[in-house]
Structure 1
Amino acid sequence: MTDFPHHAFREYDIRGIAATDITEALAYRLGQAFATMLPANESRPVIVGRDVRLSGPGLQTALIRGLNDAGLHVMDIGIVPTPLAYYAVHQLSAAGSVHVTASHNPSEYNGFKMMIGTSSLHGHDIQRLKELMQQDLRTDKATGSCTPFSITDSYTQFVVNDCPLSRPFKVVIDAGNGPSGMIAAPLYRQLGCEVIELYCEPDGRFPNHHPDPTIAENMVDLANTVRAHKADLGIAFDGDGDRIGIVDEHGTIIWSDMLLLLLSRRLLLEYPGATIISEIKSSQMLYNAIEQAGGKAVMWRTGHSLIKAKMKETGALLAGEMSGHLFFADRFFGFDDAAYAGARIMQMLADTGSTFSELLADVPITVATPEIRIACSDQEKFDVVDQAIIHFKSLGYDIIDIDGMRIRFADGWGLLRASNTQPALVMRFEAPDNKRLDEMRALIESWLDTQ
């Protein structure tokens, strides 16, 4: 296969420009290669769905043809958030899933997120898949079939039964014109909520704003609508529904590490001593609060697939990332699902009878930067971080190096790591005040300037 898009095969998924990197020919080969990675004589169906991108139908059709030609049966769940594909695998005991999506990337992108069994494909498995896709995988197996299947009613009923609300909420939801509005709006209404919808019409052009709730400017319409309607909270979803963003009753963004802090405290009342995982970019206040509440806090590498694998390894009941992935394994299946997370967050508010600001009142106030991205080629970025670790360790700094370099100061921390999804370095800092924040930032940035 000429012009093979090696760069599209990332740590957690396959993602690139539709019709250039991500072609229907590539999708067909992916179907065949995915079949090869399944256990021999696998007879269970593969779940296939897609998000709302305009390139999705052609890619999905080609993918299914590749799976069928490899002898596999497919259950086509249509346009749904990625977590519903995960849910379908668990509930139907399927062989795995391939979801056609580029998550929160701009509309011209597309790609694939995959599971074999109930484990997300990542790392070496994605590289193995890439190798197989460049081989001749023609087979003489009998052609498989494709059956349309709706998983939505089953999913909705599961969440309604799992997350009853002791009091109703007025909630604004912003689906960013992705598929989540079709699921979350009726779901939250069944929970008894008054739901005000923003950009819930599926539109693969994403005409209103970029579907990424980790960027503050994408949350402005949601915040304004919450204030205008005097709603209790606002919930935003990314382009494929596995990441959540929250604003409180004042329209203030509650970042994901603080959401995880609150959910952790709640969980530890029921499961004392439980293990809870977050990532290298999260606030130290989160880790301190988990330990103070009697939990075991684990700091791990960034990436939804890596977090899910670590949860299975440690038996953790809850996890979360700054990017808005929240993972529940106490009453759920351990995967990231924004619609379900929204229901759990509302249940927490209902059961405590408190607002976000009241629940966070005892958390020490710190100053933190957002993620700061610095352009750096894929060829250089990991080496730069390795050199930083050597340099700052030689100066005696206390460093966590499980995923880049997190320097621990007595009163805060600074992070430098290589992005897994972009040709960039990522920095983040947390300190007691802006003066100290600037000092921490200058320490790392002045070293970077010499490189």
Structure 2
Amino acid sequence: IILTASHNPKQWNALKLLNDKGEFISGENGAEVLALAESEDFNYAEVDDLGKYETRDDAFDIHIQQILDLPMVDVEAIKAKKFKVVLDAVNSTGGIAIPMLLDKLGCETVKLYCEPTGRFPHNPEPLKEHLGDICELVKKEGADFGIVVDPDVDRLALIDEKGEMFGEEYTLVAVADYLLKHKNGVAVSNLSSSRALRDVARDHNSGYFASAVGEVNVVTLMKEKNAVIGGEGNGGIIYPDLHYGRDSLVGVALFLTHLAKENKTVSELRAGYPAYFMGKKKIELTPEINVDDILSQMEKEYQNEEVSTVDGVKIDFENNWVHLRKSNTEPIIRIYTEAKSQEEADRLGDEIIAKIRSLI
């Protein structure tokens, strides 16, 4: 059990439950846990029969050493580059762990918000509008790039040497580019992640598969397809040679290896990938409208396109895509789009909203 508020303020600390493999439990297992918690069919242990616990202060060291020992992490190549890196850890445990890793890799670390107080100095979602401080500091320090992690240190965003966002979606793309260049296999992400990962996989004559949204769904499909790399477009890297969980530390080590071997700046690396832009919109419906019926009608409306109903309705057009997902709590359809320009992504979202309204 992990006690965490994730990217929420500290008063929202709650529980993340893992199975015996150290992976998040499935929805089915979660339902079992809730049923047990709500039942009266168990006995509490008496005080003299309570279990035992132990504390460890070497967990970071063990984790980092396992990363350094990975064949695809080239420690010497990274050390030779003597990278200078700015780190924004949003006052989380990333402020302890990431500098430890960077030190082992011979990098100079400039720390920003690295005191693990749990008091976020800015909105912890690693989005451009929240990261002005690190973007400025990267330029001021003349750093090679910047690293941003969320409070759980499972999302990894990067800033290039010009103080510009690398793009959360492109963290996974860059790491997959490196791995698939050297290993045969497939890549997996979720249906709402960038098409750029599919494009990079095809460039390396590799396969690409998309799961329903949610880490547990990505992991299930990765195991089914024996994927080399997987993750989520929000900067979550899942590298099964280490473990089946999103992990910013292994993401940093693999990205640094890629950067060192490519002998490019971060902005040059980013320019080599397909340029896509995402849009996010939503349409609020009245409670009496059946959202499932609307999604079913949209599926029929675009039946001549490539359509997936694994998670809501995703429609893949030749040059863009749209993904429709219903809210579990409100009569809302969330609309995710991606295209080769921001204007096109937004236009597609508006077009889909108009189509939905015409069906109501």
What TM-score bracket applies, with the shorter chain setting the length?
Answer: 0.7 to 0.9
Superposition deviation, residue 270 in structure 1: 1.9
CA deviations 1:399-432 (Å, max 9, x no partner) are 2221122222222112221357998543222223
Superposition deviation, residue 449 in structure 1: 4.0
SS at match of 2:192: coil
Instruction: State the alpha-carbon separation in 1 of the partners of residues 203 and 31 from structure 2.
Output: 41
Provide the TM-score with structure 2 as the length reference. 0.87
Provide the TM-score with structure 1 as the length reference. 0.71
| More divergent stretch after superposition (419-428 vs 318-327) | 419-428
Q: Which of 75, 78, 82 is matched with 1:168 structurally? A: 82
Instruction: State the alpha-carbon separation in 1 of the partners of residues 282 and 9 from structure 2.
Output: 18
| More divergent stretch after superposition (231-240 vs 160-169) | 160-169
For the aligned residue pairs, the C-alpha RMSD in angstroms reads 2.5
Equivalenced residue count is 347
Instruction: State the alpha-carbon separation in 2 of the partners of residues 280 and 155 from structure 1.
Output: 30
Unaligned runs of 5+ in 1: 1-97
Q: Does 1:117 align with 2:24?
A: no
Q: Does 1:319 align with 2:230?
A: yes
Superposition deviation, residue 108 in structure 1: 2.8
Q: Does 1:347 align with 2:257?
A: yes
Instruction: State the alpha-carbon separation in 2 of the partners of residues 391 and 287 from structure 1.
Output: 24
Aligned to 2:132: 220
Alignment of 1:117-136 (within 5 A): 117-118=20-21, 119-136=23-40
Superposition deviation, residue 158 in structure 1: 2.5
Q: Does the 8 A contact of 1:283 with 1:430 survive in 2?
A: yes
Superposition deviation, residue 298 in structure 1: 0.5
SS at match of 1:115: coil
Instruction: State the alpha-carbon separation in 1 of the partners of residues 84 and 330 from structure 2.
Output: 38
Q: Does the 8 A contact of 2:211 with 2:310 survive in 1?
A: yes
Aligned to 1:18: none
CA deviations 1:276-312 (Å, max 9, x no partner) are 1011112223212211211110111111121122212
Superposition deviation, residue 225 in structure 1: 1.1
Q: Does the 8 A contact of 2:90 with 2:124 survive in 1?
A: yes
Instruction: State the alpha-carbon separation in 2 of the partners of residues 360 and 205 from structure 1.
Output: 32
State the identity as a percent.
Answer: 28
Instruction: State the alpha-carbon separation in 1 of the partners of residues 352 and 16 from structure 2.
Output: 35
Aligned to 1:288: 199
Alignment of 1:296-445 (within 5 A): 296-330=207-241, 332-369=242-279, 371-373=280-282, 383-384=290-291, 386-398=293-305, 399-418=307-326, 425-433=333-341, 436-445=344-353
Instruction: State the alpha-carbon separation in 1 of the partners of residues 331 and 248 from structure 2.
Output: 27
TM-aligned CA distance change 1:108 to 1:418, over 3 Å = farther
TM-aligned CA distance change 1:421 to 1:189, over 3 Å = farther
CA deviations 1:142-179 (Å, max 9, x no partner) are 32112112212222322334431242210111111111
Q: Does the 8 A contact of 1:431 with 1:437 survive in 2?
A: yes
Alignment of 1:4-403 (within 5 A): 98-118=1-21, 119-136=23-40, 137-139=42-44, 142-150=49-57, 151-162=59-70, 163=73, 164=75, 165=78, 166-206=80-120, 208-213=121-126, 215-272=127-184, 274-330=185-241, 332-369=242-279, 371-373=280-282, 383-384=290-291, 386-398=293-305, 399-403=307-311
Superposition deviation, residue 356 in structure 1: 2.9
